Amino acid sequence: MTEDAARLPDPVLPGALTDKPPFTFWDLIRGKRRGMPWSMPDEIYEQPVLLQKSLIGDIVYVGDPELAKQVMIDRPADYPKAEIELRMFSALFGQGLLGLDGEAWRKHRRTMAPAFDPRSVAGYAPAMAESSEAFVQRWGNLEDGAVVEVSGDMTDLTLAIIARTMFSGEGEALEPVIKAILDRAPQFSDFNLFDMLPGTRAIRMAERERRMQTLFAPLDEAVAAMIARREGRADAPNDLLSRLIAARDAETGLAFTPREVRDELITIFIAGHETTATAMTWIWYLLARHPQERARLHEELDRVLGGRRPTGADLADLPFARRVVEESLRLLPPTPGISARVARREDDLGGVKVRAGAYVVVAPWVLQRHRRTWPEAERFDPDRWLPERSEGRPRLAAMPFGAGPRVCIGQRLAETEIQLIMATLAQHYELDLASDAPVKLRHNVTIRPVGGLPMKVRRRERAPAAVAAE
Ligand code: HEM
């Protein structure tokens, strides 16, 4: 163990992960979340693969990155997404990427890919930096050292960014409509046993779909009006909405219908802001817990940017900032349990017999804390991402965005956004935890701090060397 590790005896979330409740039938019926990845047996962090018998059948947890690659990259057709998950997403967001499978999914993915390619993402970067800078003003109105609830604030910021990325100037007017929807949406995402039983599942799904349609109706009207205004217009802004309207399937030449555009917009909206807000929340938390690393980040930002607004092109010159993001996404992946696959046929994974129909869980949380892959796995150590320390590391040792054909379509967008937010805000502010109380986690697709994360915001002076160099 290094000296640093001895001084900072992580786990990074003291007290938060000790809660390992047993999985009871009663919990399942009530839909109480038992999917917390840290409540898995400890052996999973030592073994390549672990088989558990459960009420819903065999569950195979994969901890070895080479076996994960077999499932996610080499043979994805043998391990399709679990149907219950697809059904949940389609009930929530309609026929968007998260809820589709097979040929319909392939068509949507092909058609949408160009809107998320490096050139498109570079085009969204200025809006991301501008929104982050507007947020600097919001904290600037506070007294120095004031306490903010960081996870809520980051949600506001990522919501503003995705609204602008998707709808340009028109996004701002939509923000209150969307916020009102999101405030009510969580109550629809609690799934339980009745969603799995053949007798009740169709009724429950239909009921959920109906409620979601009512919930999203105000947004549907606004989006439909926007689509109608933009169709055929040569001077439409170059945002995600325009790209989805203009998108054509490379094979069939067909465009999305307005309904398909709507479903994809809602999918991206939800998938694209909650995750990045979660990532930002844990980045501020980890930096506060590791002041030496935070000081290194500040030094790099001051030296390279000297207080100006970062651009997408600056990110290549901020290698330490990138390592901070990579390490944060390793240690506290925003979607720690995603995603369950189902074995289509009998198989052998690392000597464990996988029956047809078994759930196969390739969870970022497990792979990214696996003790065979990661020395001092629970320690926050951005330098483990230095090229010389990454040599020979298997490809799926870390996979916060998933892997294979269904890898997160927004990965590049998210990485750019997170780095721009961090680079903009950390130039102006330093955040410290407002309380020593253990942070408890709630896992419901993403992991958020229970009751939010209160932090003190202090203004920073830039390093004298960076100021003098101007
Ligand atoms: C830190 C931020 C993010 C994380 C950790 C994350 C994580 C993931 C993961 C793990 C998957 C794969 C799920 C699976 O294999 O079953 C996924 C899929 C997806 N993500 Fe992300 N995501 C993030 C940001 C975004 C953003 C910014 C967008 C859109 C703007 C987005 C849109 C999507 C969509 C549409 C899918 C489904 C892709 C498909 O099935 O083809 N995500 N995400």
The atom of ligand 1 lying closest to the CA of 335 is 5
Residue type, 355: R
Residue type, 391: E
Residues 6+ away with beta carbon under 8 Å from 450: 439, 440, 441, 442
What distance in angstroms lies between residue 402's CA and the mean position of ligand 1's atoms? 8
Name the residue at shortest CA distance from atom 9 of ligand 1. Answer: 401
Predicted confidence at residue 223, as pLDDT, reads 82
* 45, 63 Cβ separation under 8 angstroms: yes
What distance in angstroms lies between residue 295's CA and the mean position of ligand 1's atoms? 31
What distance in angstroms lies between residue 256's CA and the mean position of ligand 1's atoms? 20
Q: What is the distance between the alpha carbons of residues 393 and 340, in angstroms, rounded to a whole number?
A: 24
What distance in angstroms lies between residue 237's CA and the mean position of ligand 1's atoms? 25
Could you give the angle at the alpha carbon of 274 between the alpha carbons of 268 and 276, nearest 5°?
90
What distance in angstroms lies between residue 72's CA and the mean position of ligand 1's atoms? 15
Q: What residues flank ligand 1, with Cβ below 6 Å?
A: 81, 97-98, 109, 267-268, 271-272, 275-276, 279, 334-335, 338-339, 400-402, 406, 408-410, 413-414
Predicted confidence at residue 350, as pLDDT, reads 95
Predicted confidence at residue 63, as pLDDT, reads 93
Q: Which of 109, 274, 275, 420 to mutate to test the pocket of ligand 1 (most atoms within 8 A of CB)?
A: 275
Predicted confidence at residue 338, as pLDDT, reads 77
The atom of ligand 1 lying closest to the CA of 85 is 16
How is residue 73 written in tokens? Answer: 């990259």
The atom of ligand 1 lying closest to the CA of 273 is 27
Name the residue at shortest CA distance from atom 14 of ligand 1. Answer: 339
Residues 6+ away with beta carbon under 8 Å from 470: 306, 307
The atom of ligand 1 lying closest to the CA of 364 is 10
Predicted confidence at residue 465, as pLDDT, reads 53
What distance in angstroms lies between residue 449's CA and the mean position of ligand 1's atoms? 20
Name beta bridge partners: 353.
348
Predicted confidence at residue 140, as pLDDT, reads 95
> Does the domain made of 3-468 have the CATH classification 1.10.3720.10?
no
Predicted confidence at residue 190, as pLDDT, reads 61
Name the residue at shortest CA distance from atom 1 of ligand 1. Answer: 276
Checking DSSP bridges between strand 359-361 and strand 57-62, what pairing results, if any?
parallel
Q: What is the distance between the alpha carbons of residues 438 and 7, in angstroms, rounded to a whole number?
A: 19
Q: What is the distance between the alpha carbons of residues 380 and 288, in angstroms, rounded to a whole number?
A: 12
What distance in angstroms lies between residue 319's CA and the mean position of ligand 1's atoms? 24
What is the 3 state secondary structure string of the chain?
Answer: CCHHHHHCCCCCCCCCCCCCCCCCHHHHHHCCCCCCHHHCCHHHHCCCEEEEEECCEEEEEECCHHHHHHHHHHCHHHCCECHHHHHHHHHHHCCCHHHCCHHHHHHHHHHHHHHHCHHHHHHHHHHHHHHHHHHHHHHHCCCCCEEEEHHHHHHHHHHHHHHHHHHHHHHHHHHHHHHHHHHHHHHHCCCCHHHCCHHHHHHHHHHHHHHHHHHHHHHHHHHHHHHHHHCCCCCCCCCHHHHHHHCECCCCCCECCHHHHHHHHHHHHHHHHHHHHHHHHHHHHHHHHCHHHHHHHHHHHHHHHCCCCCCHHHHHHCHHHHHHHHHHHHHCCCCCCCCEEECCCCEEECCEEECCCCEEECCHHHHHCCCCCCCCCCCCCHHHHCHHHHCCCCHHHCCCCCCHHHCCCCHHHHHHHHHHHHHHHHHHEEEEECCCCCCCEEEECEEEECCCCEEEEEECCCCHHHHHCC
The atom of ligand 1 lying closest to the CA of 268 is 29
* 79, 343 Cβ separation under 8 angstroms: yes
The atom of ligand 1 lying closest to the CA of 165 is 30
Q: What is the distance between the alpha carbons of residues 300 and 305, in angstroms, rounded to a whole number?
A: 8
408 has binding-site annotation? yes
What distance in angstroms lies between residue 407's CA and the mean position of ligand 1's atoms? 7
Residues 6+ away with beta carbon under 8 Å from 57: 357, 358, 359
Domain ranges, ordered by start, for the chain: 3-468
Name the residue at shortest CA distance from atom 7 of ligand 1. Answer: 401
* 104, 95 Cβ separation under 8 angstroms: yes
Name the residue at shortest CA distance from atom 27 of ligand 1. Answer: 272
Predicted confidence at residue 253, as pLDDT, reads 84
What tens-digit pLDDT sequence spans the chain (470 residues)? 333 333 333 456 655 554 444 444 554 444 444 456 666 778 888 999 999 887 778 889 999 999 999 999 999 999 999 887 888 788 778 889 999 999 999 999 998 998 899 999 999 999 999 999 999 999 999 999 999 999 999 999 999 999 888 888 788 778 888 888 877 766 555 666 677 677 787 888 788 788 888 888 888 888 888 888 887 778 888 888 888 888 888 888 888 888 888 889 888 988 889 999 999 999 999 999 999 999 999 999 999 999 999 999 999 999 999 999 999 999 999 999 877 899 999 999 999 999 999 999 999 999 999 999 999 998 999 999 999 999 999 999 999 999 999 999 999 999 999 999 999 999 999 999 999 888 888 777 888 888 899 999 999 987 655 444 44
